[in-house]
Amino acid sequence: MNTAAGAVALMLGLALSLGAQSTASGQQELKTTVQPLAGENLRGQWSFELWVPGAIERLRSVWITYDRGYDVMRYYTDPEVRAFARDNAIALMLAHQCPAISPPTGEQGEMDMDMSRGVARSIFTALDDFARQSDHPEISSAKLILLGFSGIGAMFGHFVQYVPNRVVAAILANPGQTDPYGMKDMNLSADALRVPQFIIVGGIDDRPGTQLPFDYFRRHRERGAPWVFLLQNGVPHCCVINAKNLIIEWLREMIELRKPSADKPLRPIDARKGWVGFIRPCDPNGRDSKGESLWNVCAASVQRADDRPPSDELTAAWFPANRLALDWLAFIREPKHPINSFPGRK
């Protein structure tokens, strides 16, 4: 980018390219930064990275995650995730967190989770610059897959509400944030309700807890949302990588159903058919930071969507296919899930 163009980009808050690399296989590793605009609650420029698989004529979507911890960042470079992305014409984008000038939560160093104060605009500006760098203009209007952990998990719930027609699917891992940006009062519009979500929690995660994310799932599932709730027994605030294979399998089904394309609307999902999962919570494990009960899952089952639900279990998931339902069932029935995805943990 020449000096004059860079000056214009700075004035307009457009992305400034940091560099690009291409490999022999044709895949690209791109970087960009986005400058804050006047009135946005961003402390400095925002950095993004993009991986583009090789030999892809036209991308179908972009999968976005944030650097909210070691465990979730592994999705950006994981070989199986990249193989899945290559097979489905998906680019992977890693956003580096940008602290707010004045965090609404009062936590210094935290982001502003209000989409209108810089977060959404920065994401779309980065996509525009990556579209230019990569010679994939469809990236500017590509449909999005979201993966967020902890506070970013909650933030991506707000992002779905902000632009529901752009989102193929969202994975909210251990989602929680200080009110009013947490899960307690998040109620999505009819359009946002149609976006499939995969909500993961840990049975002993005393930060966002188990109950508030489940309540978020339940009140939207009761309105027909095609969502999945997955609890990892005995897991604290970590370890979303343990559910990688199930997430990939679920995303494959969602992509097949929604048919993402940069120039066509996403297809709706008919959640009246398919399979439904149920759970029985038990083994209370104290309370989370909000004072809500923590719990594991001691029983689970699946059945057809049109069958009578079991009287002693709670609705916890919807699936389009029996195999996916059974894989969820096998996972959630494990009495204790591993917590060894962080360095040094056993």
Superfamily for 3-269? Alpha/Beta hydrolase fold, catalytic domain (3.40.50.1820)
Q: What does pLDDT average to over the chain? A: 91
pLDDT of residue 285: 81
* 55-80 tens-digit pLDDT: 899 999 999 999 998 889 999 999 99
Contact between 128 and 99 under an 8 Å Cβ cutoff? The reply is no
CB under 8 Å to 150, separation ≥6 — which residues?
68, 69, 173, 174, 175, 176, 177, 207, 208, 237
Domain borders along the chain are 3-269
* 70-112 tens-digit pLDDT: 889 999 999 999 999 999 999 999 999 989 999 888 888 899 9
Given a cut of 50, is residue 218 above it in pLDDT? yes
**What's the token pair of residue 67?**
């650097």
For a pLDDT cut of 90, what percent of the chain falls above it?
A: 80
Q: Rounded to whole angstroms, what are the CA distances from 286 to 73, 214, 235, 261, 296? A: 29, 16, 14, 45, 11
pLDDT band at 25; cut points 50, 70, 90: confident
Given a cut of 80, is residue 12 above it in pLDDT? no
pLDDT of residue 1: 37
